[in-house]
Amino acid sequence: MGLGWHLRTVGGTRTAAHGGTFAGHILLLELVPEKNFAIAILTNAGSGWRLIQDVERAALRTLEGMSLDPAQPIGHRGVNETMPDAPIMKTQPDSAPYVGTYRKPPSGQNVVSLQNGQLMVDNSAIAFYARDLAVVTSGNSRGNPVEFIRDTKGDVRWIRVVGRIARKD
C-alpha cells in the first residue's frame, strides 16, 4: 500500500488503485503507469463491487493483455476482492487448526466451524486453494478470499476475511 493507493502486481505489471464507498456509491480508479493506462469505474449500487471487479478484470485482460492469476484477488479495494475462479485443492487440509473464534477489536468476530464435514466461516462454506488460503464457495460471498495466518510456532492465530484481520481466541 502506498499512501492511499493499493499497489499490486498483476501479470507482472504494477498497478495502483484506490476505491471507495459512500452512501451506496462504489467506485474504483486504477492506474497502470507502465502501460500508460487508467480506468475509472463508478456505480450507484451497494453490490456494485461485483460489476467493478468484472469490468476491471476484462479491461486489464482485453485492453492491456495482462494475464491474471485466477487465485489473485484484484477487485474493488476496500469492499471486496474476490477470486471467482480460484483453483480448489483436490485434497483439503485438516480443519482442526482453523476452527475457532477470531476477534476483531473493538467488536466483531469471525467464527470458523465445521458443519456436516464442511469448513465454514461465518456460515459461508469455504475451500482451500493453497496452504492457509481459502475462498468462499457459494452464496452472495462466493469468491471472497479467506487467509489464515500462522505465528512463529506454526499455529493458526489470525484470519483475514476480505482484507480485515481478526485474532484467534
Residue 146 CB contacts under 8 Å (≥ 6 apart), including other chains: 121, 126, 133, 134, 135, 136, 159, 160, 161
- Could you tell me the pLDDT band of residue 63, with boundaries at 50, 70 and 90? confident
Flag the least confident range among 9-18, 36-45, 67-76, 158-167.
Answer: 67-76
Torsion of CA 20, 22, 27, 31, to 10 degrees: -40
Cα(169)–Cα(157) distance, rounded to whole angstroms?
8
3 state SS of 164:
strand
Domain ranges of the chain: 1-85, 100-168
Three-state secondary structure along 39-101?
Answer: EEEEECCCCHHHHHHHHHHHHHHHHHCCCCCCCCCCCCCCCCCCCCCCCCCCCCCCCCCCCEE
14: left (phi over 0), alpha (psi -120 to 50) or beta: beta
Q: Comparing C-alpha atoms, which of 118, 115, 117, 124 is closest to residue 80?
A: 124
Q: What is the pLDDT of residues 5-40, one digit of tens each?
A: 877 777 788 888 887 776 677 888 889 999 999 999
